[in-house]
Amino acid sequence: GGRVVKNVAGFDLSRVMCGSRGCLAILTSATFKLSPLPPASRTVIVDAPDLQSLARLARTIAAEPVTPSAIELESPVHRLLVRFETTQAAARSQAAAVADLCSRLGAPTTIVDGSEEAAAWSAHDERVSCASGTLLKIAVLPTDVLPILEVLTHAAALHHIEWRAGGRVALGVLDVHLATPIDHHAAAVSDL
């Protein structure tokens, strides 16, 4: 096929292979396209007082004329991590624009790069990838992230479950970790 999907004719063999779980054929070779690491990276950490503010900030940032490589949420410590991976000047400019926008909306921000940024993303990744408990992947429309988090908050409170969420808020993909007590996880998932 060509560089764009419109030039590809025939079946989408990659999806057929993934869906067949090895029943149709085996792969004997694979070709990968590699991209270099971006020359610079900056992350804007945005703190929000509540879930409504968090969702509003995420929608506002996603609608801005900036190109973040990630808009990740963390809850119940309501905050966003907005990452820009591009040239040094563009990363600095876009991070400053998002920080300015958030400050106008009353949300405090911190811009990090280098080792501070790596530590922030490492901590973010570890929030929901714990060994014990139940891990849920929830995919909804981006406009439904707030309602699903509100339902999750209510279900966790009802069943006295500790929980943490992270995910790609602009895409509507959430990773939720349900911690203790494990006895009530099935009931909470049923509520969700």
Question: How does pLDDT run across 17-43, given as a tens digit for each residue?
Answer: 776 777 777 778 878 888 888 999 999
d(CA 111, CA 100): 11
Q: What's the pLDDT at 112?
A: 96
SS (H, E, C) 148-166: HHHHHHHHHHHCCCCEEEE
Of residues 189 and 68, the one with the higher pLDDT is 68
Reported as a pLDDT band with limits 50, 70 and 90, residue 190 is confident
- Convert the pLDDT of each residue in 57-104 to its tens digit: 998 999 999 999 999 999 888 999 999 999 999 999 999 999 999 999
Mean pLDDT value of segment 158-182: 86
CA 99 → CA 45, 48, 104, 117, distances in Å?
9, 13, 9, 15
